Structures are given as structure tokens and as C-alpha cells.
Structure 1
Amino acid sequence: MTDDTTDLATADIDECLTIAVIEETLKNAPASTEPESVDDSPAAEPAALVETVVLRDSTDADASTPAAAETADGTDIDDAPVEDAAEADAPEADSGESDDGESDDAATDAGSDVDTDTDSETDEAEAAEIIESVNAFPSIAPEISPELAKALVEKARITGDLTDDDSKTLRLRRPSGAFRTLYNWLIAAAMLAVSFGYVWWLLASGPPLSSRVLRAASLAAASVIVITTIIDVSRLALVSMLAMSTSLVRSPIPTRIHQNLRIAVFITFVPKMESLEVLERTLIAAKRLESAKGTKADDDDPPALVDVFVLDEGDPDAPTAVQDLIDRLNDEQPGNLIRRISRLGVEKYNTGRKFAPKTKHGNFNAAYDVVSNDPDLPKYDVLVGIDPDHVPLPELTTRLTCYFNDPNVAYVSAPQAYGNAVDRTVPKLAESQQFVFHSLIQSAANSYGGPMLVGTNYAIRTAVFDQIGGAQPSITEDLATGLKALTQRNPETGKEWRAVYTPDVLAHGEGPVTWGDYFKQQNRWATGAIRHVIAGPFIKQMLQMWRHPRRVLHYTLLMAFYPVMGLTWVLGAVNSGLFAWYGDSGTVVSPEH
């Protein structure tokens, strides 16, 4: 951790980030770790809409003490090297290396007792740094305890400390024990037996169908049986999918990045929908994001840097409000430089599908076009996307980009955690709904290189972004953009791009506060997924992935989630109505029975 730690609070709760929320969000998330990779693109041209301020030096943190991990060979996209958790998590001997990776004879001579004391002191120092940083802004963040601060550090490092590894191959860790897969499939088999037994009981418990009187009530009874069977088959498919996913869970092994990375952080902002107070909290944290300094970088290489851009959709009633906030933060706060980009009133960036007005993908593409064509800006290697209500930890940039050591990693996603879920019902339930997706399904997709790109707390190579033509036009632009990337090949290696999901909780945001907000969010996600299947390139993309059938199955099941859930809800309502109207009168037993 660096001295520049982040503001972790939300504006409307006393302690937005509590140990309970973080643990509830990812209590079952697998431990994982992975290697980094760098994309050294040539220097780029930037553009005219960027308002610049005096650049300040960002603080760079020392890398964490490396954890023991075996180096594995093999670079096949769907078969990244895997380590058993029991082996990878075994206690390691003193490496004799200091935090910067150099030999330290004094530390070696001191023995393991000194190491234990040092680790304890380091944890306490990091907790103190977080407390000092957060409490420095009492109007924005409440005071937090040392225990909470240490918990935040721990949950941001679920995959373990960054390791030193010269390999350019992504490595994965298997978090399960020897019998975990067997238990999973035994549970799935038990559910299969229960389902078939239930359907058999429905059909066989009464008289034969031939003995039933063909009347409306009998038809209703038959409909109830058919509907119940459909619902139970859907439940069975869901249980089988989760059992399969649990067996496939893999966690990436993080390694220190080899080459310096130039990172552009994009924070989208819509004035009419988000407040300046929320944006300010996120920007204060963004100024503290760590730069990704390479362990193998030469003096001649471009320096590592982090530049923050606010993608302001603009408010005609207060056109300078965001810029005034940025100017004040750049003057008052040390750290990364913040710039503002706005397409308000610029016709070029408000026409066509790529720059569609009032869309997130249009805003993102407009800003990227500006940054890419501005001669005063560097050619960035990585784009990091953060929503304005998600407060990042300083480690977000280094722990997302560390997996880019593998040249075939296109993007890296991290989970969403809602800080306001502590004492509010709606955000807590919304977070719980996403729990299985973030803790299980995304981690399982690591085994075949297909985690979904989630629309906040992610990093994507600019080379990939250029290759696919920017953010894809969709109301679920994250899904569409990630799928487009996974259908392409790395032109330098000739291999398909792969993706990585890290369970590290690297940012904390605000979930939907009201039921209206929740259903609006779900409607947008469901509509985007269904449109992508029906009117989008989904079928074509699945055909392009034919070499990776597990990816095809993964995304087919993901896209089927909302339609299947909607169907079962409708059928369940029909079932209830039929039974409420007819009761058990649909079955007529003849005297001989």
C-alpha cells in the first residue's frame, strides 16, 4: 500500500464500508493470484477537448512481499497452468528479499521471528495509512477503526501478495480440496434424482390419465403438471450449472508487472444523474491510484504514469461545475493529474451509433478519440474504467494491470461491492443477487479465459480497444465490448484474446437505493442481454468461439438467465392462478379406482 490511500466512505451512511459487508460480498470468493502483463504501445496523439492542469507527481507504493508460488509452463488459452490451493498456500520459508525484491542479508540473518514482527508492523502501518487518509476528509468520510482498515486491505488482496515471476504466462490457482469436485457432482446428482422423483410422483400418484374426465378442470390439472415440470427442469439446469462452475473455479496469481504502464483512468459522469459530492469522493481516491512500475523496465522506457479523466456529459445550467471541482482538487490534493473531457455541444461526438448521445459507450468513445488524438498526451497502454460512485483503493490500478504480463490477456475485471449495503435493504439484496455471479461464475470462467467484462473496476488494453473499434453500441456496452474482444486474436501472437477475473475487492460503490432504482437496473441489464441475442451479433460471436466450447456454453447460459427467470415467474403465476381457481377438482377418480 502507498501513503496515498483512498476515501472509502459513501455520503449517506456512517460507515459505508464495514467488515460485514465486505465479507458478505465475497465471503466465498476463491483465493487467487496471477501474473501481470504490459502493453507497450507507441506514443499516441491526443486531442483538443482536454483541459489540462499542472501535473503533480503521484506517489508510488512499494510492492507487497511476494508469496510463494510455483512457476508453471504452458500458454494454451483454455489451459492456463493451475496450482492446487493447498500447495500454493503452504507456509513459505523466508525468501531473503526485501520489498523491492533485492537480497537483504540482514533480514535473512534475523530469522523468522523478525519476519513475523515485520509482517505485523506492516499490517498496522497500512491500517494507519488508510485511517489517516480517510479521516483527513471528515466532511466526506467518517472515522474508521484499525480493524476495518485492515479488513479493507485484506479483502483487496484475496489473491495474495504480488509475486516476482519472470514468466509471461498467466497462472491460475485451484482453490478446492481433493474431494470438492466429487461433492459438487454428488449434490448435482442428488438434485437430479429429486427432480425426476418429483415429476414421477406428480404423474403416478393419481389415476391414469385415461381415467380422467376431459374437462376444463382436468386440462388445468395437466397444465399445472406440465408447468411444474418446466420450472423444476429450469431449477435442475441452474443447480447443474452451479455445480459445474464450482468445479471449475480458478483464481489468478498476481505478479509484479514487468514493464512500465501508462494508464488512463476514465470516470464517466452524468450531472443530472450523479452528484458532485459523489464524484468528488471518487476523484480524491483516484488521485491516489498507484502507478504500475515495471520490474524489468529500462531507463529508456516511457515512465509509468496514471492520468485521470472525467468524462463529463455536461450540464448546460452549470457548464463549469465539474471543471471547478477538478481545478480545486488538483490544487489542494497531491497525486495523479485529473483532466476533464466533455462532448457537450460538439456535434462530431453526438452523432452516429459509435458516439450516440446520452449513452455510456458514446461518452467513452468520444473521450477515447479525444485522448488518442491529442499530441500533448502520451500513448496509453491501458484503459481503466470506474463508475463515478465507486471509490477505488490505491491498489486498483496495480492489481488489475498485473495480469497483463501475459500478452494474450485482453482485459481484467473485478467485483462490484456496494458500500451502502450495510444498513439498507435494497442495496443489500441487489448485492446478494450478484453474489453468485461475482464469487462463483466469474471465477469459473477463468479456467477457459472467458470472464465477462463488468462495466466498472476493469482494465482493458488500448490495443484491444483499438482493434474492436472502441466500446460497442449497446445499453450493456460492457457485455458487448467484452464479447467482441474475445472473438478476436492477438495480432502479435496469433492466439485468441483471453480475459481474467480477480476476486480482489478493489473499489466500493453505491447500489440501487430504492426498488425503482433496482428494477430500472435489472431492466437495463435484461434488455441489453436479450437485445444482444435477438438483434445483436451474439450468434455470430458464439460461432466464432467454436474452438472454445466452454466459453460458448458459459455465455449461452448467461444470456439465458433473464429469459428463463422471466418465464419461470410467469409460469409460476399461471400455476398459482390455476390451482387457486380449480383446487384439486381437476382430478376425477372413477369408481373402479
Structure 2
Amino acid sequence: MTPTPTGAQQYSTTTTHPTVPRQRQPQGHPAGPGPRYDYEHYSRLSGPLTQAPEDRPYRVKYRSLLADEPHRIRAALLLGAAPVLSVVLLVWLMQPAHWTHRGGAPAWMTVCDTVMLVSIGLIELFRLINVTSNAHATLVARDPVPVVPETGTAVAFVTTFVPGKEPLAMVRATLEAATRLRHRGPLHIWLLDEGDDPAVRELCARLGVRHFSRKGVRKWNQDKGPFRARTKHGNYNAWLDAHGDDYEFFASVDTDHIPLPNFLERMLGYFRDPDIAFVVGPQVYGNYDSAVTKAAESQQFLFHALIQRAGNAYGAPMFVGTNNAVRICALKGIGGLYDSITEDMATGFELHRHRNPFTGRKWRSVYTPDVLAVGEGPTSWTDFFTQQLRWSRGTYETVIKQFWKAPFTLSPGKLLNYGLMVVYYPMTAVNWLLGGLSCALFLGLGASGIQIDSEVWMMLYSDAAALQIGLYVWNRRHNVSPHEPEGSSGAAGMVMSALSAPIYARSLLDAALRRKSRFVVTPKGDSASPDRLFSTFRTHLFWLLVFGGSLAASFFNHHTHVAMRTWACLALVITAAPIAVWALSLIRPRARGGKP
């Protein structure tokens, strides 16, 4: 992506994540020792800090990403062509002349044909919604213009510790980095310790960090609600109850995130606007050395580089718990962080539904593309799938429990923004389930919802897919990751999203069946979970049987339509890929004489 010019105010930020080895400077930097990745530059992607106007009330200002595009005609053609061709494909497929009609067929076959017809229509409709969502985000995405924060505001910087899930060395690195934060006003560093660990207390005392624990306090350890035991939101809400009134804002990072020294300088200025409830930044993984971690970060490209920026157009980016700053009176006004396994999304949704009592206007939020904290991503397939399971399940819970309130309490823009965000997981899951059902019905039983010309279908489908991928690749210029090479296609992220589809389907079924879910901290560092064939990949193994069995049945029953066999083969590759990658990771060290 194009570097942002350095403004009048520069910073000497050289913070690196403790797990990132130090080596030569990135290309274009002066020779000599330094960080492996240019976090300093990426911490200022939104531009230099500016002064807030003194002659009028401050409101956050934004810059359109598309307005800076030098090839606007080319961009407009791509933005228009991608959804239009998807519409053409959908309309062509679903013509009544293409519907299957069987004279004298048994009733069960007619039912199967109808199910196939509906499945195909929904799959293409969901794909159309997805490409339209990406085109819409590209059109409206914008960055906030950063301003200098007010002087003298009381701020708490908060992070948490969960015994057994996060190594003490990781907590130490985060707290040490927090003590280097710059702020022109009262600033206290807090560690919220779920275990009230003596070693953690001693570490806090040595670093001058304030220690808090709710352990043993019944009021702060409930079975459900804002003080739910063994949850992140319960831990934060207990601290808010005890100390929140002492501060105007709190900034927080997950324990595995190292904040850069300019974290507060780049976030707090937006709170000059009295209606800003929270500010969030992107999530990047500093332990950028394993294949799973690299692909997991790339998978988040669209969300952090595009979807969140589109949220700025409506004042409604999603609340992300990994690194943020929050206006405490706004959060306490809705009763604290929401009781959910994805408390950040649920809390942001509630804030956007409510009004600032001092101005009468709805609370808004800001997403900054500035990389202000460097975290640690999942290094094993087990932890990655667990993370995706929790994120998707939390979205389903938000849809079931909260989203019905949206039409009555959100503005049209915010409703559109949230609607496009929350449909991603359900659409991906339903698409996967319908794809599996269609394969089984056609290849196994011979059902056929539509009768079409294979060559015309292949032409339209390949063109629509090419435009959809082209839009994705074109948007890579807006990437906010300091780790992915400039000009990279993001193919690893696209593949990782496809590999996650079976997990989203499993999560959707769990939500529909109301199976109990619980908050799970993604293990970090040496606590990473090991991968096992039948525990880690059991969902993918099940779908291997579904698609493999359907494909085998097609040869036996002579059901040979190219579209269905193509989809079955692609699905088979998708379900087998993570297992194959894991198996190769075990074989290679042994081939070199090492341990897996």
C-alpha cells in the first residue's frame, strides 16, 4: 500500500512484539539494527495529528479512500460490474424455463428437486449479497482525521490476566510497554487478575502497576449477567464497578498485545467529539512465523482494511476488544460490557442503540487504521478453529438476542452497516450446509433443481467469480497489516476463510439447537493447544465423508453434471486442506531428523 507521508509530528516508536525476532530494517529504512517490521509507519496510517478547531464544537472529520484513487473510472467499472454480473447469473439460473419438471416422478423426487432449486437460488443470492457488501464498503470506506487529545484527562490503561492461559512473561511484556505510554494527564496502568496470583501481584508492584482481582467476591462472580464468573466482560465490569468513576476513559488491550508508546496519543483525540463512545484499531499478529498465524491475519484483511472503515461512514464501526479506548460514562450508561461470548460486538451494538444523555444524539464510534498494538495470533489449527467457533457463535447470539431491536433503535445507515456485518457468518454457514445438501441430493439421489447449459453456466460463473476476486485483490492496496508484503494477493486469507466455512456451519447448528456455549480464552505462547487428527479436525473429517461419499456415488449412479462435480471436488479440497497442511508439518521435521 502507498505509505502515508510523515507529518509535522513524528514519533520514535520502535516497539516490537517480544516473539518477533529483530533483524535488518525493512527495505527503505536506514541501515542498522531495528525492528523487523515498520510498526512506526503503520501506527500513523491515518496521517499526522492535527489541531482541533477552537472556534466551533469539534466533530470527527473523515477522508474518503476512494476519493484518493487516481483511476476512478477503472474503480467505478469494477465496483459496478462485480455485483451486476452476479445479478445476471442469479436471474439466468433461476428462470422458470430452467426449473426441472419430471412427468410421473415419485413425490419424494419432486420434493428433492424443489429443495435443490431453493438451495441453488439461496447460494447465488448469498454470493450476490457478499459481493455487493464488498462493493458498498469500497465505495464508502473512509479514515478519520486524527487530532491531538485534550490535556489533563484521567485515563486508565487496562489489561487482564487469566492463570493457565497466558504466560507471566507475556503479561510482563505488555505491562512494561504500557508504562511507556505517552499521555498529557493522569494515567494509571491496571492489571485485572482473575487468579489473584502472588507472582502477578509482585510483578505489578515492581513495575508500578495497579493490581485488581475480583477473586472471592461473590458480587463480582455471578452465574450470568454483567458480573459473570470466568469471563472477560465480568472481569472488566467488576473493575468498572470498583474504580470506573475515577476516570474519564479507559484504554485496553488483550494480554498478548503490546501497545505502542503513541497508543493514547492516536486514539484519545477523537473523544473531543462528545458523542464518540469508543475508538478501536486493527488487530495484527506479531508472532508472524507460523503458517496458521500468517493465514489467520490475512483472513482478517477485509474486516480491518475495509469493513471497519466503511463503518466510519455511519459512525458505527464494530467494537473490537483486542485494542480500544472507551468513554466510561457511555459504557456505564448501558450497564457495562454485555454478557456474551463475544462481548465486544454485543457491547458496541448496545452503545450504538443508545443516546448520549448530555447531547441527545446517538453514540457513535471511530475506527482508526493506525496499528497501535501488536498481538499474538493462534499458532495451531486447534486454537484457530476455537477462535473462529467463538467469533461466529457470538455473532449468531447477537443476531438471535439483540438484532431484532435494530430496526427500532438504529438509524438506516447504522442498520445497513450492522446488517452487512452480521450476515457474513450466517450466510457462509448456510451456503456450506446448502452446498453439502445439494451435492448429496444430486450426486447421490439424482435430484436436479434446474436444467442448464454447462458451457453457459461455466462462462457466467467464472466471469462473476473473477470479478469478485478482482475486487478483493484491488482492495489489497488498503491493507493495514505491517506484516504482509506490499503487493501480496491475500490468497492465504481467502483460502483461510474457505477452510473456516465448516466451522461456521457447526457453530450455526450449535446455536440453532441451543447447545451451551462458553467464553474461551485463546491460549497464548507456550500454552498453545496441540493439534490432533480426530479432535482438531473432526468437523472437517465429517464433511470429507459427505462430499467424498457424494462424489463416489455420482460415478456409481452416473450423475455427471459438471457444476455439481466441480463443487464437490472444490469442497473436498477445502475440507482436506487443513488436515494435509498439518500432516506435512509433522512429516517435514522428521525428514530433517528433528521433532515434529
Q: Is the 8 A contact 2:100 2:448 kept in 1?
A: no
Aligned to 1:145: 24
Q: Which range moved further: 468-477 or 240-249?
A: 468-477
Aligned pairs for 1:147-546 (under 5 A) are 147=26, 149=35, 151-167=38-54, 168-177=58-67, 186-187=77-78, 189-199=80-90, 202=93, 209-210=100-101, 214-215=105-106, 220=112, 223-291=115-183, 293=184, 304-314=185-195, 319-328=197-206, 330=207, 337-351=208-222, 353-372=225-244, 379-420=246-287, 422-534=288-400, 536-545=401-410
Aligned-partner residue type, residue 60 of structure 2: L
Q: 1:585 to 1:384 in 2, by over 3 A?
A: closer
1:241 Cα shift?
1.0
Among 429, 437, 457, the residue aligned to 1:574: 437
- Give, in whole Å, the separation in 2 of the partners of 1:530 and 1:360: 19
Shift of 1:245: 1.0
CA–CA distance in structure 2, aligned partners of residues 233 and 213 of structure 1: 31
TM-score w.r.t. structure 2 length?
0.67
Percentage identity across paired residues of the two chains:
37
Unaligned runs of 5+ in 1: 1-26, 33-63, 67-98, 100-121, 294-303, 331-336, 374-378
What count of residue pairs does the alignment treat as equivalent?
438
CA distance in 1, matches of 2:244, 2:122: 52
Q: Distance in 1 between matches of 2:119 and 2:332?
A: 48
Query: C-alpha separation between the residues in 1 aligned to 2:446 and 2:417?
Result: 40
Inter-CA distance 494–218: structure 2 relative to 1 (3 Å threshold): closer
Give the aligned partner of residue 541 of structure 2. none
Residues 247 and 419 (structure 1), Cα distance of their counterparts in 2 relative to 1, 3 Å cut: same
**What is the distance in 2 between the residues matched to 1:436 and 1:230?**
23
Q: Which runs of 5+ in 2 are unaligned?
A: 27-33, 453-596
Would the aligned equivalents of 1:217 and 1:587 in 2 still touch at CA under 8 Å? no
Equivalent residues of 2:244, 2:328 under 8 A apart: no
The Cα of 1:141 is off from its aligned counterpart by 6.3
* 1:438–1:583 CA distance, 2 compared to 1 (3 A): same
**How far is the alpha carbon of 1:405 from its aligned partner?**
1.5
Mapped partners of 1:140, 1:195: distance in 2: 44
Q: TM-score of the superposition, structure 1-length normalised?
A: 0.68
Q: Measured at CA, do residues 172 and 356 of structure 1 come closer, stay the same or move farther in structure 2, by a change above 3 Å?
A: same
1:406-461 per-position Cα deviation (integer Å, ceiling 9, x unaligned): 122111010100112x3322222222222111110110111110111101210011
Report the Cα offset of residue 144 of structure 1: 3.8
Q: Distance in 2 between matches of 1:387 and 1:436?
A: 22
Q: Secondary structure at the match of 2:325?
A: strand
Note if contact 1:250-1:446 (Cα within 8 Å) is conserved in structure 2: yes
Q: Check whether the contact 2:227–2:237 (CA below 8 A) recurs between aligned residues.
A: yes
SS at match of 1:402: helix
Question: 1:129-160 CA deviation, whole Å, 9 max, x = no partner?
Answer: 62xx769xxx8764343436472111010011
1:238–1:208 distance in 2 versus 1, CA, 3 Å: closer
Q: 1:495 to 1:568 in 2, by over 3 A?
A: same
Distance in 1 between residues matched to 2:450 and 2:329, nearest whole Å: 66
Q: What RMSD over aligned residues (CA atoms) do the two structures have, in Å?
A: 3.0
CA contact (8 A) 1:449 1:498 kept: yes
In 1: Cα distance, 2:49 partner to 2:451 partner: 70
What's 1:549 paired with? 412
Counterpart code for 2:145? I
If asked which structure has higher relative contact order (CA below 8 Å, sep 6+), I would say 1
Q: Deviations over 1:295-326 (max 9, x none)?
A: xxxxxxxxx022111110006xxx30211222
Post-superposition offset of 1:166: 2.1
Q: Between Structure 1 and Structure 2, which shows a larger proportion of helix residues?
A: 2
**Letter in structure 1 aligned against 2:273:** D
Cα gap change, 1:323 to 1:156, in 2 (>3 Å): same
CA distance in structure 1 between the partners assigned to 2:120 and 2:16 by the alignment? 53
Shift of 1:193: 4.4
| Alignment check: 8 A CA contact 2:115 2:449 kept | no
